């Protein structure tokens, strides 16, 4: 995908967060065995470096082109959604994962330590205001014991450290600050 033409065209471009083509390809350069080899350092990178991202995304998602549109969301009427397993025979557990990307901030590879801290404060203060069935526990990694960390990994709430692809993409800088 990274032909000389694709490389030469955007090599001097930068996003408003100062992300460069090197930020996009760094992990793949360091890890030639990577399945994809690129990471978007911020949302703008998908546009600024579209000549690289678009064909990869299309191939990865089985021909879903830049011009294709997702079908409209239809989760149905939640008021008419009954208990899917009234006898408690089939559904053992469910999980909802929320990724932390906030508008106005780049993605992990370009975040500063101060931005990680700001984002953690925004997320934790928002979550602490939830009540009822939405109330839960916020687990900051800073100061977390190894035992709690391992339990969260075992329960699939926390990713293991040491992913060389993410490390090469600078997605683990300032670990564990802001996480």
Task: Render pLDDT for 42-78 as a digit per residue (tens, 0 to 9).
Answer: 999 999 999 999 999 999 988 888 899 888 888 788 7
Query: Under 8 Å CB-to-CB from 55, ≥6 apart: which residues?
Result: 1
Into which CATH architecture does domain 4-61 fall? Orthogonal Bundle (1.10)
Q: Report whether 93 belongs to an annotated binding site.
A: yes
Please state whether 123 falls in left (phi above 0), alpha (psi between -120 and 50) or beta: alpha
User: pTM of the entire structure?
Assistant: 0.72
Q: Report whether 96 belongs to an annotated binding site.
A: yes
pLDDT tens by residue, 109-165? 889 999 999 999 999 999 899 998 888 888 888 889 999 989 888 887 777 677 888
**Where along the chain do its domains lie?**
4-61, 78-169
Q: Report whether 67 belongs to an annotated binding site.
A: no
Q: Report whether 97 belongs to an annotated binding site.
A: yes
Q: Report whether 164 belongs to an annotated binding site.
A: no
The confidence score (pLDDT) of residue 96 equals 64
Q: Report whether 16 belongs to an annotated binding site.
A: no
- The CATH classification number of 78-169 equals 3.30.590.10
Give yes or no for residue 99 having a pLDDT over 80.
Answer: no
| Alpha-carbon span 116 to 123, nearest angstrom | 11
């Amino acid at each position: 995908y990274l032909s000389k033409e694709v490389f030469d065209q955007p090599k001097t471009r930068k996003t408003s967060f100062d992300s460069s083509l090197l930020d996009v390809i760094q992990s793949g350069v360091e890890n030639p065995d990577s399945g994809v080899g690129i990471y978007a350092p911020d949302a703008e990178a998908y546009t600024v470096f579209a000549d690289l991202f678009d064909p990869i995304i299309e191939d990865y998602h089985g021909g879903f082109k830049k011009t294709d549109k997702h079908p409209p969301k239809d989760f149905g009427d939640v008021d008419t959604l009954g208990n899917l397993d009234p006898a408690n025979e089939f559904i053992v557990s469910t999980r909802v994962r929320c990724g932390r990307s906030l508008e106005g901030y780049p993605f992990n590879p370009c975040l500063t330590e101060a931005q990680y801290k700001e984002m953690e404060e925004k997320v934790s203060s928002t979550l602490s205001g939830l009540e009822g069935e939405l109330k839960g526990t916020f687990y900051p990694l800073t100061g977390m014991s190894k035992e709690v960390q391992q339990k969260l990994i075992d329960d699939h709430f926390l990713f293991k450290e040491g992913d060389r692809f993410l490390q090469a993409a600078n997605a683990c800088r300032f670990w564990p600050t802001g996480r």
